[in-house]
Structures are given as structure tokens and as C-alpha cells.
Amino acid sequence: MTDEARHFRMSRRGVLSAVAVGALGAVAAACSKDGTKTTTAGTSAKKPDPVASISYTPDPKKESAPNPTTKFAVTVDKGVLNPDVKLLNSRGTAVKGELSEDQKTFTISEALGYDVEYTWAGSAMGEDRQTVPIDAKFTTLNPSSQVNVVLNIGDGQEVGVAAPLILKFDSTVNDKKAVERALTVTTEPKTEGSWAWLGEDNGSRAHWRTKEYFAPGTKVSMAGKLYGLDHGDGAYGAADVTVDFTVGRNQVVKAEASSHQIVVVRDGATLMTLPCSYGEGDLDRNVTRSGIHVVSEKHEDFYMSNPAAGYFNVHERFAVRISNNGEFIHANPETVGVQGSSNVTNGCINLSLDSAQQYFATAVYGDPVEVTGTRIDLSEADGDIYDWIYDWDTWTGMSALAGEPDTSSAPATPSDAPQLSGTSSSPSPTPSAAPVG
């Protein structure tokens, strides 16, 4: 073999070796099926974990049944939340929420419901450009019962200067301190007032009354943060309550029984003086109670029954209720002959038809009717609005926050009170609205 042939064979071997080495190198740099890199020794290098981490408020792993009024949020660290982040209710509907300006926190902006399963969904992008899922579930608190409340005054209503604000609960409130702390009353101009808890009446009653009569034109706002609030023994508020109303003119009825008349005073001046007849007073049930009554409703027509007095479904006109024991200021043609000179009624204040209509047109919810000169005082036994029988120290002592709630039991309607039927011209009580989240 010539020297040239031997040189060619050796060169060819070198080329083949180089090719072989190149092929091996290509294999060493290839990726495995799962995407991790394969080393020259045939082992895999695992892909790094995402740097972004997700946290939930409250943490579903630590709090199994959060209060629906809790702050609910999802937060990302070392990344940003994507626009698809959301909280879904059990119907698959997204709950309202807001994404922070830095895109790191999404916070729920509406109250959630009781005993509802919610699901966090969406994703976040980490600083390493890896996507991480948002995925968590929780179920909100399931109360043993829910407490509803009705207000006696409606939004935008104009009331008289003696009107109390009444919250009537549909069951007993055992933690009255917690509930009272959740109630805020603001007035313009500033007016001194206090909550008091009156006797149970198929549920608890909280009344807010002023120390003195309201000043005419006072604006009143009340807010009760009762939804999500434990009222005691696992009973929670069914909804928040709010109301805004105004106080109208200052109209007071001066009703001195021995005068056989009523004097209607508006803003300090006599508006009308009307002959009348008060309760005869021979029996306790026929005594018009002395004390500050409050106009609570009025009817142009109604039918009254009083079995104790022996009458049923008697048609009366222009009746203004002043207490819940059956006391009205109303027309009674049968007593016109003695109106202004003698007291012969079963406890109501009787007027002529014209006088009753005249007074009826001026009366509004919350007007005070100050009865004097009879032998029995208005009391809690007369039910409904008897707030003004208490002096101020006694009233404030009935606040739960003073530690002296009233535990007496006063029926809303005494068992022997006249029964009423007819169409009311008074506004209906205002129910509260439930959350929608």
C-alpha cells in the first residue's frame, strides 16, 4: 500500500470518529419526553417550581365556615393576578369584586350569603412567566336561625316630634349589647337620644327616643349593621337595616279631661280648640289614660268592637289611634249632646263629625297627645308606644349598654282591647332587605 493510500484511510477514520462523537453530543443535548433536559449520563433535570404563591383570606384550610361579612380576598406573591380571577357562588355566578391597582389582590365587594359554597377560580402569572392556578372552595356560616327586623318608620317619611324609632325583631335577641352596638343614629341638628329595650312581644323590641321632643325639621338617619351579627345563641341577623326620615312641624294635642275639650297647638300657637268627651271613668276600662300618648295610625272609616262594653262592628269615622289599648280620637255623633260638658265614653276622646275631620286632616304619625286629669296613668300594659311614661334616667337605664335592659313583658294588644278592622291611611312598617351576594 502506498503512503498516499495509508493517509487516506487514516483521514477517513478520523472523519467517521468525529461524526460519531457529534452524534453522541446531539443525543446528550436532546430533551426527554417530559420536557426536562437529559444530561450526558442519561439523567433528567426537573423543571423549577413556579415562584408565584397564592394565599386566600380567610384561609379555607384554617377556617371552615367563615362569617359571610368577613373580608374575602385572594393575593399573589411574586407575580400578578390575571383578569380571569373570580369568586363563584353555588350557581356559578361571579360575585362582585375589585382587582387592586398593582394586580396582586382581588377583594370581594359585596356581602356573601349564609351557608353557600363558593369557589375561587382563575390564574396568576409569576415573575418567572409561569402560570399558577387559583383554586379553592369554602362554605359560609350556617346560622342556627336568622333574625328579621321591621322598622316603624319608612324612608322619606315625615313624622311628629314625639315619634320613637322602633326596631321590632321576630324573635328574642339574647345578645342585646352586641345588637345595640351595631345600631347608629345620627341627627341634624344633633339631638340627645337613647336606645331602650322594652318588654318582649313575640320577639324583642328596641326603641330609640329623644330626651325632649324633636326640633321641627330634624333629619334622622339610622343604620343597623345586623347581617352577619350573632344576636346570641347562634341566631344571626338576616339583613342590615337603614332608614332616613324627617321631623315635621311641632303639633301637640293638649287634652285636659276636666276641660271637656282638646286644644291643638302647632309651633306654639293654638291651631284649634274642639269640644269633646273623655272616658266616663266609672270602670277602669272606661278611663282615658293620663300621660303622653303618640299618634300611631289613622283611619277615615273603621269598625270597632268592644265586647266588654257590649258593642260590635260599630262604624266610626275619622279615627286617630293614640294608644294600643283602644284609645282613639274619633267622631261619635251619639255623644255630640254632651261634648264640651261631660265625659261619657268608654275611654276614647269623642268629637263631632266636623271636628273629628278637622283634626284628622292635621294628625301625623308621631304627634304627641298629652292627656291629663284622669285617675289612671298610661303604662306598659297599654302596649305599643308608651315610651314617654319613663323619665330620662329610667329610659337610659333600659339601654343594654347601660347593663339594665327592661325585662318586663307587655302585650302588644291587651286581651280586652277593642278590635279594629278597616282600611288604614297610615304607612306600613318597613321590612329590611336581605343581602344578594
Instruction: Name the residues annotated as catalytic.
Output: 330, 348
Q: Collapsing DSSP states into helix, strand and coil, what is residue 16?
A: helix
Residues 383 and 302: beta-carbon distance below 8 Å: no
Distance CA 159, CA 412 (A): 21
Distance CA 347, CA 119 (A): 63
| Residue 370 identity | E
Task: List the beta bridge partners of residue 304.
Answer: 314, 420
**Cβ–Cβ contacts within 10 Å for residue 56, how many?**
18
Place of cell 274619633: 330
| Residue 387 identity | D
Q: Collapsing DSSP states into helix, strand and coil, what is residue 302?
A: strand
Which phi and psi angles does 328 have, rounded to 5°?
A: -135, 155
Angle formed at CA 95 by CA 121 and CA 132, multiple of 5 degrees: 15
Task: List the beta bridge partners of residue 86.
Answer: 121
DSSP symbol at 328:
E
Residues 368 and 162: beta-carbon distance below 8 Å: yes
| Cβ density class 170-199: b for 16+ within 10 Å, e for less | ebebeebebbbebbebebeeebebbbbbbb
Pairing of strands 297-306, 241-247: unpaired
Angle formed at CA 63 by CA 58 and CA 67, multiple of 5 degrees: 70
Report in angstroms the alpha-carbon separations of 74 from 41, 56, 242, 261, 342: 44, 5, 31, 70, 77
Q: Which three cell numbers stand for residue 1?
A: 500500500
Residues 120 and 89: beta-carbon distance below 8 Å: no
Distance CA 329, CA 264 (A): 12
Name 8's Cβ contacts closer than 8 Å, sequence gap at least 6: none
